[in-house]
Chain A
């Protein structure tokens, strides 16, 4: 066997799930590498995770300030060179604000924060996060956010759908779609999207909180395992 994949997890001021992402990477056999928002060094990692939280307090708009952090220049360069980048929850919001992913995330339709286990259906396997899964596969993972309603203008939405950039949709346990399964009112039940190249993925659910069988369902395991395998394969 070769070396373990090194996955960097960026800590912004106000990141909350950074330790959890590092722990999940370790649990699945990778090396978790803490990265600091104020540094321009990605420490030679094979993949980058922007974790959940409330970076900079989300006081302007979610993710709006974090995208200007020094580390984000390097993340952008890494992404443009084809490096795998995963944004989870607040990390997804940051990637949208930074223009690395299409669309935007608005306040939940209920106007309330929601913490709940949901099911998502894999829509695209053209990403390192889903490459080792099958289209249509259903995973149980938790969401916990106040601003996770995926939005895009009609043209953008048509492009996102048309180019197959939707990676996950909220669904029922059997993969069926419906408003009852959509925790935040997202357009098209969209839970996660990718860029055109496929190397940048963002999703609102938290795969890093669904890896440890002691704690609950493990729908995040195949996703993060796929990310680790692909991150290494790319090297």
Chain B
């Protein structure tokens, strides 16, 4: 961000020299949006208080290079300074958790000596400005996080949110983000197996682009951070360092997007997936050959982050020689090299005696590698350039001692009015069949084939369940085990009640994994919010974290890590508070996985769980009644847990022909989707205690539609009774029509067409 401005003119000064009173200043042509003579620290995104803390950490005035390092590492994006006090309340420990938050990615035990490494991240800010590259580099970044744990990346999932497709800019963002995810993911040989896509007006101009990556590694590899001794070398592997992405974390990810945001385009990194593919293979070869003491990705805050985190974690310091960093262009300043977010780079820690072999592996894969420093005794990160020390900062102060804020919180005004406007009991005399078609062709519910056909979901040859179902499943090669994943966010629910929105997201993700027949194990998350300096946003955040924590505790799925994305707003208007959950589950035998498609005629259809009059925040209320109001459905976490356990047990006994979670669009959509997927109709009768449209479209939690062969229906009923889960026979499968007794009938083929054509039609084919 200060490219062309401030620090460029500053002499590379010895770190021991005081730069004098009064911090450096930026000329008018400096960073975006800065006023003339604004102090450098403010232009870099540091407050006056934070400048004081940096002074204290150094015991002197920081020079401009050091300021840039503090600004990057103490940015909201890198330091979690506004979120930390809340995140501490999340449950992070559990039987299956091998590594919790704080590392590059969380790790859970899969059994048989294997571990899953998984994490989710946001790349919303760059994607808002440059959708293709923004989304592409998001994929690259999360893959390197998993790679840094020594795991082979085996799956990607992409939860995405955009404004309505009726607006041209939203279509451009949507098409660009999807193409960017495909363009990068398809070139690195990691299948994109799932995701979700939702549309809502508050996400206009502020798309939410999250990416989750799952990797697999031998458990002992990720468990044992070896004792690293001073003298170990820092080997920078991969792409040369350029001026792209400078200030990515402090400019883009830690501020709101206002008019003229396009000017920050140089802060968006450019991806080279081919280089990433080589980096994956080279790093895995290095790890498997036992040549490394440590491995760290270079993402936000670039070299500064990778070096200071590596050193701080080991309780060591580091010497860095910027003259040794391979550069893409001449004349780069120290702060540029230190904070560049050029993609496709990794930092390896290598013992001197293994250096030659390590570099030979890199060369075999056509990758440059350069020793850019070494770990040393003491805690200082000392940076040299042109023979002089240009920065000397305690590594811990950068990586671990960022400020922590407990920001003021206040519920937004108008919530009570929204809650009072409950759509559930509005008289409605519409045609329920037409309403179902309207809901099925709403872009939130409609088929996402237009999206996922642009992703390679098959490469690596282990995809048991690709996109389009409740959850994705990846076989663990050489075993019968499978990892089952689902990503879920509940935009409308969160807008009406952030606590419930987050709790529902966890519940739905667990239910999705359980519907597929797998046991939910652990959670990663991406918490997408507006500007945390606004008390209303901070209140939403705190509520959401509380809801997520309660749900994760109740369902026994601890949080192993994740990402917070703040400042998702423009013009004072924030996105809906959107905590997105990535749930990872496991089944010991993939042959017992359950699909959501009806399997054939003659199976009995049951509703597990109970439908309550709950249209608040529902798809029906938005699409048909034009209302996003009322309260979200209640969530009884004990009931949810009972349903999840029932579904897992039913799968273990191979009891179910199909299982599908009831969520957006309620029971009617769940039935229709099972029919469409299986190309089998059904005839059901709904209980008459509720108005028909409420029975059809209520989004009550803790429900699933299952089908079962008649011969095993008794066993299902007994099992449900044992577990205290309501289990109501609705009807049976068969025929070409979806028949709701006494209400309406639709051809499966017609419903499929409405559901399949909706997004292609909006996107022009």
A59 to B272, CA, bound (A): 10
Which residue of A13, A59, A142, A212 contacts B278 across the interface (Cβ within 8 Å)? A13
CB of A27, distance to nearest CB on chain B (Å): 10
Residues of chain A within 8 A of B462, CB atoms compared: 215
Determine whether A174 belongs to the interface, using a CB cutoff of 8 Å to chain B: no
Contact A215 B273 (CB under 8 A): no
Given A13-B278, A16-B277, A113-B186, the answer on whether A215 and B272 have CB atoms closer than 8 Å is no
| A11-65, CB < 8 A from B | 13-14, 16-17, 19-20, 23-24, 52-54, 56-59
- B461 near A19 with CB under 8 A, answer yes
Say if the beta carbon of A140 comes within 8 Å of chain B: no
B719 at interface by CB-CB < 8 Å: no
Inter-chain contacts of B459 with A (CB < 8 A): 16-17, 20, 52, 144, 209
Nearest chain-B residue to A114 (Cβ)? B453
* Interface presence of B187 (CB below 8 A): yes
| Neighbouring B residues of A234 by C-beta, 8 Å | none
In the complex, what distance in Å separates the CA atom of A58 from the CA atom of B183? 12
Residue of A54, A116, A209 near B461 (CB, 8 A) is A209
Q: How far is the CA of A234 from the CA of B277 in the complex (A)?
A: 36
Interface hits, B447-498 → A, CB 8 Å:
452-464, 475
Cβ of A146 < 8 Å from any Cβ of B? yes
Q: Which residues in window 170-221 of A have CB below 8 A to B? A: 206, 208-209, 212, 214-215
Contact A54 B179 (CB under 8 A): no
In angstroms, Cα B454 to Cα A212, docked, is 23
Whether the Cβ atoms of A19 and B460 lie closer than 8 Å is yes
Q: Does A158 contact B (CB under 8 A)?
A: no
Q: Counting CB contacts under 8 A, is B590 at the interface?
A: yes
**Which residues from 272 to 321 on chain B have a C-beta closer than 8 Å to any C-beta of chain A?**
272-275, 277-278
Q: Inside 8 A of A58's CB, which chain B residues have their CB?
A: 187, 274
Task: Let me know if B577 is at the binding interface, CB within 8 A.
Answer: no
User: Would you give the shortest CB distance from A41 to chain B, in whole angstroms?
Assistant: 16
Given that A14-B277, A59-B274, A144-B459 are known contacts, is A215 also in contact with B464, CB under 8 Å in the complex?
Answer: yes
Residue of B453, B454, B457, B590 near A214 (CB, 8 A) is B590
Q: Are A54 and B453 in contact (CB under 8 A)?
A: no
Chain B proximity of A207: nearest CB distance (Å): 12
Interface residues of B in 156-206 (CB under 8 A from A): 179, 182-183, 186-189
Task: Give the chain B neighbours of A144 by CB distance below 8 A.
Answer: 186, 456, 458-459
CB-nearest residue of chain B relative to A208?
B461
Asked whether any CB of chain B lies closer than 8 Å to the CB of A134, the reply is no
Contacts of B183 in A (CB 8 A): 113
Chain B residues in 8 Å Cβ range of A208: 461
Measured between beta carbons, the chain A residues less than 8 angstroms from B461 are 19-20, 23-24, 208-209, 212, 215
Contact between B278 and A215 (Cβ–Cβ < 8 Å)?
A: no
Contact of B453 among A20, A115, A206, A215 (CB under 8 A): A115
Count of residues in B whose CB is under 8 Å from the partner chain: 32
Q: Is the CB of A57 within 8 A of B463?
A: no
Size of the A side of the interface (Cβ < 8 Å), in residues, is: 30
Contacts of A57 on B, CB cut-off 8 Å? Answer: 187, 272-275
Q: B11 an interface residue at 8 Å Cβ cutoff?
A: no
Establish whether residues B464 and A20, one from each chain, have CB atoms under 8 Å apart when the complex forms: no
Q: Scan B581-604; emit 1 where CB is below 8 A from any A CB, else 0.
A: 000000000110000000000000
B454 cross-chain contacts in A, Cβ below 8 A:
112-115
| B33 on the A face (CB < 8 A) | no
A16→B189 contact, CB < 8 A: yes
Chain A residues contacting B278 (CB-CB under 8 Å) are: 13-14
Contact A214 B458 (CB under 8 A): no
Distance of B96 from chain A, by nearest CB (Å)? 24
CA distance A142 to B278 in the complex (A): 25
B residues near A146, Cβ cutoff 8 Å: 186
Residue of B with least CB distance to A23 = B461
Instruction: Please name all residues of chain B whose beta carbon is closer than 8 Å to the beta carbon of A14 when the two chains form the complex.
Output: 187, 274, 277-278
A214 to B179 CA separation, bound complex (whole angstroms) = 29
Distance to closest chain B CB from A111 (angstroms): 9
Q: Are A115 and B457 in contact (CB under 8 A)?
A: yes
Closest B residue to A144 by beta carbon equals B456
The answer to whether B366 has its CB under 8 Å from any CB of chain A is: yes
Distance in Å: Cβ of B163 to nearest Cβ of chain A: 21
Min CB distance B13 to A, Å, is: 41
A9 to B453, CA, bound (A): 27
**Are B458 and A115 neighbours in the complex by a CB distance under 8 Å?**
yes
Residues of A within 8 A of B189 (CB): 16-17, 53
Q: What's the nearest-Cβ distance from chain B to residue A60, in Å?
A: 12
Interface residues of B in 355-385 (CB under 8 A from A): 365-366
Q: Known contacts A13-B278, A16-B277, A214-B475; decide if A115 and B366 are in contact (CB<8 Å).
A: no
A54-B273 contact given A13-B365, A13-B366, A215-B464, CB 8 Å threshold: yes
Chain A 79-106, CB within 8 Å of chain B: the 1/0 string?
0000000000000000000000000000
List, in ascending order, chain B residues with CB within 8 A of A113's CB. Answer: 179, 182-183, 186, 453-456
Identify which of residues 132-157 in chain A touch chain B, using a CB-to-CB cut-off of 8 Å.
142, 144, 146
Please name the residue on chain A nearest to B192 by beta carbon: A115
CB neighbors of A among B76-132 (8 A): none
What separation, in Å, do the CA atoms of A52 and B460 have in the docked complex?
11
B182 touches A142 (CB 8 A): no
CA of A206 to CA of B456, assembled, Å? 12
Contact (Cβ within 8 A) A142 B366: no
Given the complex, which residues of A lie within 8 Å of B455, measured CB to CB?
A: 113, 115
Chain B residues within CB distance 8 Å of chain A = 179, 182-183, 186-189, 272-275, 277-278, 365-366, 452-464, 475, 590-591, 765
| Apart from the given pairs A113-B182, A115-B453, A215-B475, 19 other A-B contacts in the complex at a CB distance below 8 Å | A14-B274, A16-B187, A16-B188, A23-B461, A54-B187, A56-B274, A57-B272, A110-B765, A112-B182, A113-B179, A113-B186, A113-B456, A115-B452, A115-B456, A208-B461, A214-B464, A214-B475, A215-B462, A215-B463
Q: Which 3 A-B pairs have the closest CB atoms?
A: A57-B274, A16-B189, A20-B461
List 30 A-B residue pairs with CB atoms under 8 Å apart, sorted by A's residue number: A13-B278, A13-B365, A13-B366, A16-B188, A16-B189, A16-B277, A19-B461, A20-B461, A54-B186, A54-B273, A57-B275, A58-B187, A112-B179, A112-B453, A113-B179, A113-B183, A113-B186, A113-B453, A114-B453, A115-B453, A115-B457, A115-B458, A144-B458, A206-B458, A208-B461, A212-B461, A214-B590, A215-B461, A215-B463, A215-B475
